[in-house]
Amino acid sequence: MLMISPKMASGAQDKQYTPSLLSFFIYNPTFGPREGEEEKKILFYHPSEIEKNEKIRNVGLCEAIVQFTRTFCPTKPAKSLHTQKNRQFFFEPEENFWIVMVVRNPMIEKPNKDGKPPTIEYQEEELLDTVYGAVVRQCYSMYKLFNGTFGRVMESGGVELLIQKLEKFFYRYLQTLHLQSCDLLDVFGGISFFPLDKMTYLKIQSFVNRVEESLSLIKYTAFLYNDQLIWSGLEQDDMKILYKYLTTSLFPRHSEPELAGRDSPLRPEVTGNLLHYGRFLTGPANLKDPEAKFRFPKIFVSAEDGYEELHLIVYKAMSAAACFMISANVELTREFCEQLDGLVGPQLTLLASDICEQFTINRRISGPEKEPQFKFIYFNHMNLAEKSTIHMRKTASVCLTSVHPDLMKILGDINCDFARVDEDEEIIVKAMTDYWVVGKKSDQRELYVILNQKNANLIEVNEEVKRLCATQFNNIFFLD
Amino acid sequence: MEEDHHRDREAQAVNISDPPAENNPPADTLATSLCLLGNHMFPDSVAANACSGVNRSEPASLQPSDVTAEDPGPEAEPPSNLGTESETPDCQNNLPAHSAGRGTEDAGVENDQSDSGEFVVTMLAKAKLEEQGIGVKGRSSPLLEAGIQESPPFTSHRDEDVTADSWRRHRKHVFVLSEAGKPIYSRYGSEEALSSTMGVMMALVSFVQSGDNIIRSVYSEGHTVVFLQKGPLVLVCVSSSRQSEQQLREELLYVYHQIISMLTQASISRIFEHKKNYDLRRLLAGSEKILDGLLNLVDSDPSFLLAAVHCLPLASSLRDSLSQILQKAITPNLVFSILVAKNQLLTIVQEKTVIEDARLAPADVHLLLNLIGASSAFQAGEIWTPICLPLFNPDCYFYAYISYLDPPECTVCLLLLSTDKEAFYAVAECKRKIEEAMLAQNSLSLIAKAQSYSVSQVGVSDLRHFMYKPFDVPDNHRQLTQFTSPEMEAPYGSDEEKMRLLDLYRYMHSRIHSTSRPLKLIYHVAERETLLAWVTSKFELYTCFSPLVTKTCAITAITKLLRWIKKEEDRLFIRYPPKYSTTPNPSKSSRSSRSEQQDTTDNGFLSLL
């Protein structure tokens, strides 16, 4: 159980517990239709140590809920179940395959006198369905990125293989879910784009073209700087989940040694190559190592005829990262990797310093950094572009936001309100804490602003947001 | 048992077609006589006796002798009324003989028992009347027609095919079932056809319960399913209206309270304590219409959403004179006098000692108004019926005298609540006084001229509609919460558009009153309108503007609107609710029993008196 700082309440001993993962399971009701065979329905169950009958009971409840809601609409079954203690989220990504995530509501534990057990108060209205529904869908997308669909695995190796794959993937993946810090950004699942001037952008484009031409094996390329995307040859939905993987899992895992500096013992042996800073984040850690393995993670992306399987090569120099994707049918050799390293390494190093320079200039032009009167989140449904000045940095383990969680939830509420009707809308609300929160939806774009001017009135708030739109959003539309 | 039940109904039907008028001098109509019969049929002692000495084998012969033997009161029913007497076995069936287990000294219990029996009689009477086409003009009463433009002519939703698409497409389903999974009520489709669906609902409830947890709701893309467990009853709402879970739960609570208003909480728990799989429909027979009516009102009338009462705008002089008339026509144990026109409140007068420690909850008033509106039987003369005000005291009955003052139009209705079940004649006399005074002052024609107002009277362009609920009323904590709102006019003239605007208000309301994240203000600009909701310590306001209004204009408009309301408040609201003092007879007053209850830790019904 995760515990946050004790609240300064009456007794100063109330303990507040954040939402946590109670269980996560995947089942297919058609796999054990007869009585006594229910266990066969269960393909994955976390935590695995739960007793068999308990698992069967919980799966049974989900089946019953889904069946029950079909009484009222056969095509749109249940998505979530709210109970006093927890919420369950249902997702059927492929026919008859159900993923269920059970999240415990946040709660407050109040100690009782006289040695009585503490009173537990569940906060039932704190979790947003949209946020956690998105988290479940993300789980599936991430699984699918590395394993392909459930159906495909069933075809190639039957239920046994599927169970194996699910076990292998989710055992680790579930540990990286940090349910207490999920918010509106998970609903969008957007991509943060790096703002860039045209010249530098063209330089990157020509770099990508050159590499793809010289190394014809490369099917797709993606280019990122500072964890933000600049160029991608992948389909949007594939890039979305790959981006999520890169920024929340792969990059954070490799960032610590880099930050540690060149002479730190933490830094992996850099093989005396002083010409460039390039290195593989996937595949061989050291090309010079005679034992080096040239195995890369495989990913599945959409293709005209279903899915194609690809090697994922991630190569990084300073803050610039390039992803190269090559058909999985090709075997990748030491020669190929050396060739790639020799070609990409120096160019990427150069590009990285170019971008860095450009970035610093731009920053200087835009004036000295001062604490603005507002914070915002922007999302564009068309290109998945997202920008947040609320989130400090999203890493694998923590997501730091600079505003109160309640305000984040109000943003989530406004987002739900926008989803009610498909038309342009604007919503301005004043919270009990006197913060103003503004949501705007126009065409496919959504903007959420939190204003810190507590004494402002509606008209002043309106002016402030107008000003923000005028100044902040000139260079964000660069990819539109 | 089931057969008995049917037989009773038939017997009653026979009785209705052959009115026993000659033996009930003050009862000038059929309905009244039936209700009176019901009430006086089972005085406490009779009920106690009848139920403890169960003898269902010869109901017909048992009853008359019991009545004559045990009820020597002046209104004792002549044995010739055989038809209604056959109700008695029904009462015995309905109310399992607790006295056998508890002993007959449990006077409080017995009292309640007979009360629920009486109610059944009243309800059955109404149902029968309507089936017979006596005094029935379609399903909705004039009150409903005037108040809420609902109702195409009555078509029974009970006969619906529950597997059909049209059944699924209903905006809001409501189901009531017992803990044993027995159907009690379904808004659409017959309970029988839905018994397996309701069984599933109960299974879900108890399954989650077995894990030491409580089921709250299920969400799918188009529907929200909300569960509410109250005592031995489970209420379920399946809605595609996009209302918040809390709002839907509030609505289920209204349904629960309406059931309580007919049977009392104590008697329901007692019934199910005794027999878990009891079929409560026996007791509620004929009252489906009341629940149907309630649900239609809940959907179409914002009073329920705001938990406030809508007053008919009235010159304060007229309202005062009406209050004075009510104030003068009193009798011991009379506690509330309520005058209603077009389903809106004209005035309400309370007994002083009652008002001291309690005010009538808006929900109780809503339930009363629904009761009046839901059945056209009330239009037929005078009604005397036990009724429980669940928020005032869920375990005990008031006795309501209901009579329209302007037959045959039936728009102005007088409601007198007494704590004394024997007070019918005294209360009827009050009505006569009130009628006389109103005639003398020509009040009825003045009331007839009163009507709701148009938003154009406010004189603010761009303002299309609003709802205003003040908190700065004098003596607020003792007053009935009220709100004011103009008629819905174009572009909200059609039923569909009305509902859409109400849905927008509901959405604003749910956000601004969210339990976990309440707000102070919401300004919402959409393509078809701009909405503003604002909650302060002095008022709660919802406004609807044309979509092109600027924020500056909206703010100016609201300033003007608030000024206008201030100017008109004497006309829009009951400002100083009058009180009167009857000489309460503490042993019989509901209030006194209530305070006794508060003293005891016994949370159920009246403990030994």
Where is pLDDT greater, at B37 or A209?
A209
Q: Is residue A293 part of a domain?
A: yes
Residue A403: predicted pLDDT = 85
Lowest mean pLDDT among A382-391, B98-107, B420-429: B98-107
Q: Which amino acid, one-letter code, is at B78?
A: P
Cβ contact A431–B519 (<8 Å): yes
How far apart CA A326 and CA A221 sit, in angstroms, is 9
Residue B9: predicted pLDDT = 39
B519 touching A, CB under 8 A?
A: yes
B17 touching A, CB under 8 A?
A: no
- Please tell me the pTM assigned to this model: 0.82
Average pLDDT, chain A: 87
Find the CB nearest A69 among B220, B511, B555.
Answer: B220
| CATH code for the domain of A164 | 3.30.450.70
CA distance A447 to chain B (A): 14
Beta-carbon contacts of residue A136 (< 8 Å; ≥ 6 apart): A89, A91, A99, A101
Together in a domain, A25 and A165 = yes
Cβ contact B523–A425 (<8 Å): no
Q: Is residue A479 part of a domain?
A: no
Report whether pLDDT(B99) > 50: no
Cβ contact B551–A429 (<8 Å): no
* 3-state SS, residue B100: helix
Cβ contact A76–B220 (<8 Å): yes
Together in a domain, A214 and A247 = yes
Together in a domain, A405 and A345 = no
Q: Which of A34, A114, A364, A336 has its CA nearest to residue A214? A: A336
Cβ contact B204–A428 (<8 Å): no
Q: Rounded to a whole number, what is the largest CA-CA distance in chain B?
A: 79
Together in a domain, A154 and A225 = no
Cβ contact A82–B515 (<8 Å): no
Cβ contact B203–A64 (<8 Å): yes
For B154, the enclosing helix (H) or strand (E) is none
Res. B131 pLDDT band, cuts 50 70 90: very low
Find the CB nearest A125 among B208, B220, B516.
Answer: B516
Together in a domain, A359 and A379 = no
B193 touching A, CB under 8 A?
A: no
B218 touching A, CB under 8 A?
A: yes
Cβ contact A400:A388 at 8 Å: no
Just give the CATH number of B2-300: 3.30.450.70
Together in a domain, A151 and A206 = no
CATH topology agreement for domains B2-300 and B455-572: yes
Which pLDDT tens digit goes with each residue over B182-191? 999 999 988 8
How far apart CA B480 and CA A275 sit, in angstroms, is 83
Res. A370 pLDDT band, cuts 50 70 90: low
Q: Which chain A residue has the Cα nearest residue B238?
A: A72
Cβ contact A126–B516 (<8 Å): yes
Other C-beta atoms lying within 10 Å of the C-beta of residue B432: 12
Together in a domain, A341 and A208 = yes
Lowest mean pLDDT among B59-68, B233-242, B458-467, B468-477: B59-68
Cβ contact B531:A438 at 8 Å: no
Find the CB nearest B523 among A72, A80, A458.
Answer: A458
Residue B142: predicted pLDDT = 29
Which pLDDT tens digit goes with each residue over B211-240? 999 999 999 999 999 999 999 999 999 999
Average pLDDT, chain B: 74
How far apart CA B82 and CA B550 sit, in angstroms, is 72
Cβ contact B523–A421 (<8 Å): no
Cβ contact A410:A450 at 8 Å: no
Q: Is residue A113 part of a domain?
A: yes
Rg (chain B; Cα; Å):
24
Res. A257 pLDDT band, cuts 50 70 90: low
Residue A285: predicted pLDDT = 82
157-186 in chain B: CB under 8 A from chain A:
168, 173
Report whether pLDDT(B102) > 80: no
Res. A399 pLDDT band, cuts 50 70 90: low
Find the CB nearest B238 among A72, A129, A429.
Answer: A72
Which pLDDT tens digit goes with each residue over A341-353? 999 999 999 999 9
Q: Is residue A10 part of a domain?
A: no
Residue A141: predicted pLDDT = 96
Report whether pLDDT(B3) > 60: no
How far apart CA A206 and CA A199 sit, in angstroms, is 11
Together in a domain, A207 and A350 = yes
Q: What is the mean pLDDT of residues B428-457?
A: 93
Where is pLDDT greater, at B6 or B421?
B421
Residue A122: predicted pLDDT = 96
CA distance A298 to chain B (A): 35
Q: Is residue A187 part of a domain?
A: no
Report whether pLDDT(B410) > 90: no
Which pLDDT tens digit goes with each residue over A164-198? 999 999 999 999 888 988 999 999 999 999 988 88
Where is pLDDT greater, at B379 or B421?
B421
Residue B359: predicted pLDDT = 73
Residue A393: predicted pLDDT = 60
Report whether pLDDT(B106) > 50: no
Structural domain harbouring A389:
374-473
Where is pLDDT greater, at A271 or B355?
B355
Which pLDDT tens digit goes with each residue over A423-439? 889 999 999 999 999 99
Just give the CATH number of B309-448+580-608: 3.30.450.30
CATH assignment of B455-572, among 1.10.3470, 3.40.1620, 3.30.450, 2.60.300: 3.30.450
Domain residue ranges in chain B: 2-300, 309-448+580-608, 455-572
Residue A291: predicted pLDDT = 85
Which residue in B170, B174, B218 has the most chain A C-beta atoms within 10 A of its own C-beta, making it the best mutation to test that interface? B218
Which pLDDT tens digit goes with each residue over A14-30? 889 999 999 999 999 99
Report whether pLDDT(B583) > 70: no
Report whether pLDDT(B358) > 60: yes
Residues of chain B with Cβ-Cβ distance to A426 below 8 Å are: 523-525
Report whether pLDDT(B125) > 50: no
Residues of chain A with Cβ-Cβ distance to B219 below 8 Å are: 78-82, 129
Q: Which of A366, A372, A358, A395 has its CA nearest to residue A464? A: A372
Cβ contact A64–B197 (<8 Å): no
Res. A244 pLDDT band, cuts 50 70 90: very high
Residues of chain B with Cβ-Cβ distance to A412 below 8 Å are: none
Residue A260: predicted pLDDT = 46
Residues of chain A with Cβ-Cβ distance to B511 below 8 Å are: 413, 417, 429
B220 touching A, CB under 8 A?
A: yes
Q: Is residue A67 part of a domain?
A: yes
Q: Is residue A9 part of a domain?
A: no
Residue B107: predicted pLDDT = 34
Which pLDDT tens digit goes with each residue over A304-337? 888 899 999 999 999 999 999 999 999 999 999 9
Backbone angles phi, psi at B531, to 5 degrees: -120, 145
Cβ contact A162:A149 at 8 Å: no
Q: Is residue A4 part of a domain?
A: no
Residue B475: predicted pLDDT = 64
B513 touching A, CB under 8 A?
A: no
Lowest mean pLDDT among A117-121, A179-183, A390-394, B549-553: A390-394
Q: What is the mean pLDDT of residues B202-218?
A: 95
Report whether pLDDT(B126) > 70: no
Q: Which chain B residue has the Cα nearest residue A57?
A: B207
Residue A474: predicted pLDDT = 61
Report whether pLDDT(A212) > 90: yes
Say how many domains are in chain A.
3
